[in-house]
Amino acid sequence: MPLHPLEPLTADEVREAVRLLQSSAEFTPTTRIISISLLEPAKAAVYAWPQTAKERRRAEAVIFDNARNTAANVRLNLKAERIELWERAAEGLQPTLSVDEQVECEQAVLRSEAFRDALMRHYGVSDTSLVMVDIWSAGNYGAEEERTRRLTRPLCFLRRDATDNGYAHPIEGIRPVVDLNTMEVIRVEEYGEWPLPPEDSQYFEERIPEKRTGIKTLEITQPEGPSFTLEGKQLRWQNWSLVVGFTAREGLTIHDVRYQDRDRVRPILYRGSLTEMVVPYGDPGPTQVRKNAFDVGEYGMGMCANSLKLGCDCVGHIAYLNADLCDSRGGQLKIENAICIHEEDFGILWKHTDRRHPEHPEVRRSRRLVVSSVSTVENYEYGFFWYFYQDGNIQFEIKLTGILSLGAVHDGENPKYGTVIAPLLYAPNHQHFFNMRLDFGIDGPRNTVQQIDVVVSPEGDDNPQGNAFFAQKTNLARESQACGNLNIETSRTWKIVNPNSLNRMGEPVGYKFFGGDNAVPLASPKAWWRKRAGFVDHHVWVTPFDAKERFAAGDYPNQSTGGDGLPAWIKQDRNIENEDVVFWYSFGHTHIPRPEDYPVMPTAYIGFLLKPNGFFEQNPANDVPSTSAAKSASKNACCHS
């Protein structure tokens, strides 16, 4: 099968891109490569593939020169072996932290005499070999140095030994500040004396002395192999087809999602990706007030991806995909098994028993295709799961786990803005906000988004019993009109329709969007992190497609002053009716920690669901055979008789 034009760059293509960058006179010994990814071709070329000529493969890179403190965007033609564009970013813009800088930052703190001196004065500790240094972005609070330097403000913890859970022992009163351009600690901020929390709390299996018993073996087998096929990054399963992508910044992406509806291959979603997230903390104390992290734009979700393991992260008959990236010096960085693909049983797909024929129940098991990736951003883990169902549903879910970001308290203190979870140890309140970019193409690129509110009819001649309600559809015509929030009182949903493609009932074909659990930002709109994360101001935004508009907080959220991304774009108030539209969804999780979240958090879940609504003529899963029919013609099966 020929290479799909949206498949991510291969390892060879990444190496060629590195070679082209390093051959340029603009590339100096102090230049770092922040990311290299596929420069996606125009939509027309993708929709015409594979009938048209093969598209030339191109790459885009973000680079940063530590000596100049400047970033640049570079476009490379891999086929022609030339640089097409080298565009310097505006002064003061800071790109994502590279994986090398994160490692080097920790070493800079550990070798700092100022840090060693503070550690000795506060805790009587001179040996830094057991100090854990978590790199935390500096953000922007209006200081001049945040505009002119590339900074981080790490959080530090003290392990008792090499595998100890260091997060149980936060070094609360000391905050080193690191200039990443010089890779030096420029100062150590001290905020007072806090005791080191005394209790150990472990999660490594070998350090758990008493493990529960009584768990019997549960095996998931597919003796005939999986029902999906994977060629390169092109995936097919149960009428679905899509391309699996991956970038250093976004992590897992999906592309060109289509459904085989009888004799038609129908496009649904052109691209789906996580564009940004932010984790703001709610404690105004001096050691906690600056804690907020834009994990996509500041750290790179793809660079933080795990190598997944069979039987642990994924169970069953698994196919894995690697991620081919590079480090900031151009060295190959291959994340083995960065993406996991498998099928899983998901309970009942549909069922009915005719009471007149109770001996003939009809029930079908639901099976779903799972495409997933997991990233670790210092203390937190985020699992990103795309689910595709036999009834045409598409679901996206984020699984939140890992370890709380902890602080110390004084004896007898009951913190107002967090929860004491162990002696002298507390977890501050915080929120997680995510933004997803859904570039729809329902039966083609020109779509309209409708806001659907369930409205109660007033009592009267048309509603004498007072029981009537109906779905009120509002076509969203301009960007300003589309900014909206979930509303439980009207069961608000959104429907993406194609007014140029009608179903047999004469209605536009469409998919309906259902938001799941969500939250609103609790910080003041004047808070610095909110200025930089304007995407949290609304749950839903709709914009016309623009290839340059990809990240909800802008291209350079690291140390930004704010105002970039969605809030800036929608000021144009462009037409979005019967256009190539992009649907942006912001969703949040408010975390008031519990003792049961420690030492490692049980998984929390958040996401959304897309359901066909007038897209098919009837239930597309009506043709799914019973489990027994799929396996054999057994008359004794419980699913069908």
Catalytically annotated residues: 295, 380
For residues 562 and 139, what is the distance between their CA atoms, to the nearest angstrom? Answer: 10
Q: Is 569 helix (H, G, I), strand (E, B) or coil?
A: helix
- Region of 532 (left: φ > 0; alpha: ψ -120 to 50; beta: rest) is alpha
**Measured CA angle at 369 (ends 36, 439), to 5 deg:** 50
Nearest CA among 113, 209, 119 for reference residue 158: 119
Peptide bond into 286 cis (omega under 30): no
Cα torsion at 7, 401, 151, 427 (round to 10°)?
170
For residues 136 and 122, what is the distance between their CA atoms, to the nearest angstrom? Answer: 22
For residues 580 and 509, what is the distance between their CA atoms, to the nearest angstrom? Answer: 15
Encode burial over 32-51: b for 16+ CB neighbours within 10 A, e otherwise: bbbbbbbbbeebeebeebee
Within 74-187, residue ranges assigned H as helices are 99-110, 113-123, 145-148
DSSP 170: B
Contact call for residues 303 and 296 (beta carbons, < 8 A): no
- Amino acid making up residue 90: A
Q: How many CA atoms lie within 13 A of 13 on its CB side?
A: 21
For residues 450 and 476, what is the distance between their CA atoms, to the nearest angstrom? Answer: 6
Rg (CA), the chain: 26
CB atoms within 10 A of CB 83: 18
For residues 109 and 115, what is the distance between their CA atoms, to the nearest angstrom? Answer: 7
Nearest CA among 568, 574, 524, 564 for reference residue 276: 564
For residues 367 and 363, what is the distance between their CA atoms, to the nearest angstrom? Answer: 13
For 63, phi then psi, to 5°, come to -125, 160
> Greatest CA span in the chain, whole angstroms?
84
Contact call for residues 59 and 13 (beta carbons, < 8 A): yes
Contact call for residues 169 and 160 (beta carbons, < 8 A): yes
Q: How many CA atoms lie within 13 A of 279 on its CB side?
A: 22
β 448-456/493-502 pair status: antiparallel
